[in-house]
Amino acid sequence: MIQLLKKSLFNLSIKHAAEILGDRSEYIGASELGQCPRKVVLGKLNPTEPDLATLLRFKRGHMAEDLVAEALSENGKFRPQREVDVATDDPVPIKGHIDFLFQGKALGVLEVKSVTSIPDSPYESWEMQLHAQMGLLALNKPGAQIKGAILAIDLLNGRMQLFNGYTPNEELFQGLLNKAEHIWSCLTKGAEPDVEPGPLCAYCDHRSDCPALDGETVPEELLPTVKGFLEAREAKKKAEGDYRALQEKLLFIFGEKPFKAEGKTLQKTTRTSSRYDYKGIAEVLEAAGRSLDDFRSSSTYSFIQVK
Would you place residue 98 in the very low, low, confident or very high pLDDT band (cuts 50, 70, 90)?
very high
Q: Are 29 and 97 in contact (CB under 8 A)?
A: yes
131 φ/ψ angles, rounded to the nearest 5 degrees? -65, -35
176 domain-assigned:
yes
Taking 80 as the threshold, does the pLDDT of residue 281 lie above it?
yes
Alpha carbon 5 to chain centroid, angstroms: 22
Chain segment 155-195, per-residue pLDDT in tens: 999 999 999 999 999 999 999 999 999 999 999 999 999 99
% of the chain exceeding 70 in pLDDT: 98
CATH number where 9 lies:
3.90.320.10
189 domain-assigned:
yes
Q: Where are the alpha helices (DSSP H) in 96-196?
A: 124-140, 170-189
| pLDDT for res 237 | 95
Task: Work out the average pLDDT over 135-164.
Answer: 96
| pLDDT for res 155 | 93
223 domain-assigned:
no
Measured CA to CA in angstroms, residue 257 lies from 60, 88, 188, 252 at distances of 48, 74, 76, 11
% of the chain exceeding 90 in pLDDT: 64
**Is the bond preceding 91 in cis, omega lying within 30 degrees of 0?**
yes
| pLDDT for res 3 | 85
Closest C-alpha among 24, 23, 27, 31 to residue 133: 31
Taking 90 as the threshold, does the pLDDT of residue 273 lie above it?
no
284 domain-assigned:
no
Query: Mean pLDDT score of the chain, rounded to an integer?
Result: 91
31 domain-assigned:
yes
**pTM (two decimals):** 0.80
Task: Work out the average pLDDT over 260-289.
Answer: 90
Q: Are 98 and 83 in contact (CB under 8 A)?
A: yes
Task: Work out the average pLDDT over 197-218.
Answer: 87
245 domain-assigned:
no
With a CB cutoff of 8 Å and minimum separation 6, the contacts of 152 are 113, 114, 115, 118, 119, 122, 160, 161, 162, 163
54 domain-assigned:
yes
Task: Work out the average pLDDT over 260-272.
Answer: 91
How buried is 173 (Cβ within 10 angstroms: 0-12 exposed, 13-18 middle, 19+ buried)? buried
- Amino acid letter for position 16: H
Q: Are 271 and 278 in contact (CB under 8 A)?
A: no
150 domain-assigned:
yes
What's the structural domain count of the chain?
A: 1
Q: Are 181 and 92 in contact (CB under 8 A)?
A: yes
Would you place residue 6 in the very low, low, confident or very high pLDDT band (cuts 50, 70, 90)?
confident
Decide which of 267 and 1 is more confident.
Answer: 267
**Residue 179: domain span:** 2-194
Straight-line distance from the first to the last Cα atom of the chain, in angstroms, rounded to the nearest whole number? 44
